[in-house]
Amino acid sequence: MRVGLGYDIHRLVRDRPLRLGGVDIPSPLGLLGHSDGDVLLHAVCDALLGAAALGDIGEHFPDTDPAFRGAHSSRLLAATLDKVRAAGYQPVNLDATVVAQQPRLGPHKAAIRQRLAELLGLDPSLVSIKAKTNEGLDAVGQGQAIAAHAVVLLKEA
């Protein structure tokens, strides 16, 4: 068994889609990024890479690479899973927290959990998504950004 930790934060801006965990969420503001800015999937990728000691998402999918411009981050997750499997591991479970002052994510948690389970090839009972605000404090709390934390367990395949 190996455990990995992932973290990411992206700025909220106008005229961008808001996609979290591979799910499109209606919002006047979306996440800035070279890819689609899916902060949750990026945190999950880093947790997977971390558990396998394979580096970080910036090494594998640099934001200077035109191949990933505007890319759906589910592509990054699929490529990350390929690397983890090639190293001899498979995911056991995921626990994640998304920190967003707006929009409220409660109504979207079930869809995000379902989608992440599909992307990871896990039963939804092995995937946990929690939503927090930052109580109006700091840049996340003031609605300028969304952050995500993820912990993944891997086992030998």
CB of 63 to Mg ion, least distance (A): 8
Give least dist CB 155 to Mg ion, A. 26
Nearer to Mg ion, 7 or 126 (CB): 7
Backbone angles phi, psi at 62, to 5 degrees: -65, 145
> Which residue ranges make up the site for Mg ion (CB under 5 A)?
8, 42
Closest separation between CB of residue 40 and Mg ion, Å?
10
Collect all residues with Cβ–Cβ distance below 8 Å to 107 and sequence separation of at least 6.
none
Q: Which is nearer to Mg ion, 19 or 42 (CB)?
A: 42
Pairing of strands 89-99, 127-132: parallel
User: Can you tell me the distance from the alpha carbon of 40 to that of 149, in angstroms, rounded to the nearest whole number?
Assistant: 7
Q: Are 103 and 146 in contact (CB under 8 A)?
A: no
Distance in Å, CB of 124 to Mg ion, minimum = 24
Judged by beta carbon, residue 42 or residue 149, the one nearer Mg ion is 42
Q: Which is nearer to Mg ion, 42 or 108 (CB)?
A: 42
φ, ψ (nearest 5 deg) of residue 8: -155, 160
